[in-house]
A and B are shown apart, each in its own frame.
Chain A
């Protein structure tokens, strides 16, 4: 079985400050990890992924995420938040040894205030 936990329903940051959106996961084997973003009245968009290799992965719009195997975490980060980053963010996991579906967390609403 595979699962994802996003412990914060809401994250509030001021524009220009760094942001972190937390994600922890559970899989039987090794994970593929993903972040998606959902803007109001828009579909889910792929943001970035961890497959293997460097624990720090970079994605769209200046976002990055850090994979930590010992803590089974994949936190999303950005050094300097923009108001336009305000959206709903979903973490997802897929087991490398079990081809098929991704399992999503329940999402974290990020609000960046000017």
Chain B
């Protein structure tokens, strides 16, 4: 197993365009998390899945953000009608159950909205 994989590594898009990121977690990990990180800040929670079920979504997340994890394997995070404020590093992490395990993070997708 090569760890958590995120694609693409970098994405530059024009304001108003839609973007989609992909995360492939460690295969035996039931839980998958999406976080967003901006310069000088810690990772900010966006949403998480247990298998294919999306169990929690941040109230800070606008309706322009949506995430899926079909069949409990890989996950996608889509941002519609991107804004400059969406520019950030988008991190994916996975972990096994129970909650006492730490996360394994991917390298992230850096989004720049111009």
Could you tell me which A residues sit within 8 Å of B by CB distance? 4, 6, 32, 34, 36, 42-46, 49, 51, 90, 94, 96, 99-107
Are A46's CB and B103's CB within 8 A?
yes
The 8 Å CB contact of A34, one of B33, B40, B102, is B102
The 8 Å CB contact of B91, one of A44, A45, A46, is A44
Q: Nearest CB to that of B41 among chain A residues?
A: A106
B107 contacts across to A, CB distance below 8 A: 42-43
A96 contacts across to B, CB distance below 8 A: 99
Could you tell me which B residues sit within 8 Å of A by CB distance? 4, 33, 35, 40-45, 48, 55-56, 91, 93, 99-108
Are B42's CB and A100's CB within 8 A?
no
Listed A/B pairs (6) with beta-carbon separation below 8 Å = A43-B91, A49-B102, A100-B55, A101-B33, A103-B45, A106-B42
Q: Nearest CB to that of B100 among chain A residues?
A: A51
The 8 Å CB contact of A46, one of B41, B43, B102, is B102
